[in-house]
Each structure stands twice: as structure tokens, then as C-alpha cells.
Amino acid sequence: MSPLDFDFELPSDQIAQQPPAQRNAARMLVVPRAGAPEHHGVSALPDLLADPRGRAPLVVVNDSKVVPARIYARRDTGKRFELLVVDPAALGPGARVHAWIRGAKRLRVGELLHVDGAALTLRYQGRPTNEPDSRACVLEIVEGELLAGLEAGGELPLPPYISRPNGPSAADLERYQTVFARDRGSVAAPTAGLHFDDALLASIDHAAITLHVGPGTFLPLEAEDVRAHKVGAERYEITEQAAARIEAARAQGRPILAVGTTVTRTLESVAAANGGRIIPGAGATELVITPGHRFLVVDRLLSNFHLPRSSLLMLVCSFAGRERVLAAYAEAVRAGYRFYSYGDCMLVER
């Protein structure tokens, strides 16, 4: 299949620029296995999931926290560069990090970059030659600690389709972060989780896993054959408690509802490597889910509306069928739903 198989038309005024007034006030398009899509609000989710037989889904969320990973740094001559650190972690002097650098062609290997507003100095090491993310440059930490430097001098890396000429607002600092965010490491929010406030989260049976979202997830599909698309490695962790709860729910015949594509990729990656089981542990996944993927764990998916020709839309189409998903997207466009990170969502059954 080609990228054109995952394309659709979207009026620009349906790209959400602001989150809804309350987290659970977004609209939710429910796409059942059979029949027409139904229009609901996210606040109706507990009622929609209720099951008198005691087999309500276990809802799995991603508790990764977005890091202010966009920084500005100057070389000794004064030239300023914009960097997006793609793998933020607790790293100190001597460690290597990767970043997308605007204007990297003007840098020479060995040049120092001093981060604005932070005690963090990086040495440019060029581009790697054997990694799937061709945009990433390698940097060595010379002075300072990476996460501390990002917290001091970094900026929340909002997606480019959210217009903020003066940078992220104070409201963005709160709303582009889930209420259950815990472990710092993402450069983009697991956006399906943005719809949950504390009350909604408390009203459903849920478990949390971690996948640190990298920017490669959002690269457009450019390979002629979508099966050749790469997103790069993203770190994950599943605790013993979370693994036990997921496996217990499956043993009881309860569906697993993944909140977002990040949860879906993590669960499917771990299951594929462990005979269909979810086991505790940490690692990295490069899984790109394409049509024909055999889903082992996830039965239902709550997901925002994604960009055309993206691996995220392709994942949803692989999960529920391309024709059915694209028809639901067309209905969402017709009904005036808001799209992308701050937009509305859909609940789909496999």
C-alpha cells in the first residue's frame, strides 16, 4: 500500500488550535463493529464501557510526561540554533543525545553549543550514518545535566500545526500534559489521554504503562511501500503491577482498551516478543503497525484524529479496517469535529 491509501481532505479551520474548556468536554465519535458511527462526548465514556456481566474493559493509559525539549543554543561565534532533543533522559557529561537541529548544515563537528537560560553545553558530533532517523544529529553533553537543562531553558514542543507565534502559553503548559503524566521522557503528548480529568479517570478501571514518544512517530509516510516506513526507537516500561492487571483482565475475558496509538504499539510489541503475553520490563520498540498486522492484545482503541498520510492513521486503519476508518473520518469532517492534538477523538472496536 502507498501513502495515498491513507489520505483525506480536512478544512484548515477544523485543526484545533486550543483545547476544549474542560478536558472531558471533547466530542467522541463511536465506531462500532457494525452499524453507523454514533456521536457522543468523552464524558459519556464510563456509561459506554459499563457491562452488567462484569466484563467492562480494562483501560490502559500512557503515563509518560512531556519534556520541554525544544531549546535554543548559541555557538561561540554567537549564531543561534533551534534544537529538538528527540530522546530526553537523565544524562550527564560524556553522554550522547540526539536532536533535530534547524540549520545543522552550518555546524562543524566539534563546535560547542551553549543552551540559552541553562547551565548546559553540548558538542556537535555530526549525523549518524546507520540510524533510521536521518534528521537526527548527535551531540555530546560537555557540561550540565540534560533534563535539568531542558527544564531550565527548554520550551514545550507543541506540534507545528498549533500556531503559537510567541511560544507556548501558560495554558499549554498544563493542557498539553495528561493528568496522569509521571515519567519524564516524551517530546509529544500521548494526546488521547488529554481528554481525561481526575474524575473521569477515577470512574473507570485503568492501568498505566509508559512509552516515551519521539518525534519520529509523526514523520509523514514517504516510502513508496508503507511497510518500509521507519519511526525510530521509543523507550517503554511496563511495571509488574501493570502487567499482572492486564493479564488478569485478559484471563477474565475482559476487553483491553488502549488509550492512544502509543499504548497500542507498546502492548503489541511486548506481546509479539513474548508469545502473546504482556510481561513486565523495559526496552525499546520500533514497531510500525501496517495493514495485515495480527493484533494480539488490544480490542478497543480510543484515539484522536490523526494527520493524513501518517503512521498513526495507518495504525488505526490497520486496527479497524481502512475503509471503515476513512469513512468515520469523513463523517467527523462532515460533522465539524476538531482534529489533531487538541481536537476530538474516536472510540473504535476491532
- Please determine, for residue 344, whether its predicted confidence score (pLDDT) is greater than 60: yes
Q: What is the fold of 3-66+170-349?
A: QueA-like (3.40.1780)
Q: Give per-residue pLDDT as tens, 282-333.
A: 999 988 899 999 999 999 999 999 999 898 999 999 999 999 999 999 999 9
- Say which residue the cell 514542543 belongs to: 157
Average pLDDT over residues 146-163: 96
Instruction: Kindly provide the residue ranges of all beta strands, DSSP E only, lying in 49-182, ordered along the sequence.
Output: 58-62, 64-66, 70-74, 80-85, 96-102, 112-115, 121-124, 136-143
Average pLDDT over residues 3-31: 95
Distance CA(76)–CA(99), nearest Å, equals: 19
Distances (CA, A) of 325 to 104, 138, 306: 39, 38, 11
**Residue 71 backbone dihedrals phi, psi, to 5 degrees:** -130, 165
How big is the CA angle at 167 (ends 233 and 18), to the nearest 5 degrees? 85
Average pLDDT over residues 340-348: 98
Distance CA(266)–CA(255), nearest Å, equals: 17
Q: In this structure, how many other beta carbons lie within 10 angstroms of the beta carbon of residue 345? A: 26
All three cell numbers of 48, joined, read: 459506554
Q: Give per-residue pLDDT as tens, 66-95.
A: 999 999 999 999 999 999 999 999 999 999
- Please determine, for residue 226, whether its predicted confidence score (pLDDT) is greater than 60: yes
β-bridge pairing 112-115 and 121-124: antiparallel
Q: In this structure, how many other beta carbons lie within 10 angstroms of the beta carbon of residue 164? A: 13
Contacts of 278 (CB under 8 A, 6+ apart): 238, 243, 246, 247, 250, 267, 270, 271, 297
Average pLDDT over residues 100-106: 94
* AA identity, residue 269: S
Distance CA(1)–CA(327), nearest Å, equals: 18
Are the beta carbons of 237 and 183 closer than 8 angstroms? yes
DSSP state, 305? P
Q: What is the pLDDT of residue 224?
A: 66
DSSP state, 312? H
Sign of the alpha-carbon dihedral angle for 325, 327, 330, 332: negative
Q: Where are the domains positioned within the chain? A: 3-66+170-349, 70-153
Average pLDDT over residues 18-47: 96
Q: Considering the domain 70-153 in this protein, what is its CATH number?
A: 2.40.10.240
Cα dihedral 328/334/336/340 (nearest 10): 40
Q: In this structure, how many other beta carbons lie within 10 angstroms of the beta carbon of residue 9? A: 8
DSSP state, 15? B
Distance CA(64)–CA(42), nearest Å, equals: 21
How big is the CA angle at 155 (ends 219 and 162), to the nearest 5 degrees? 50
Average per-residue pLDDT for the chain: 94
Are the beta carbons of 211 and 62 closer than 8 angstroms? yes
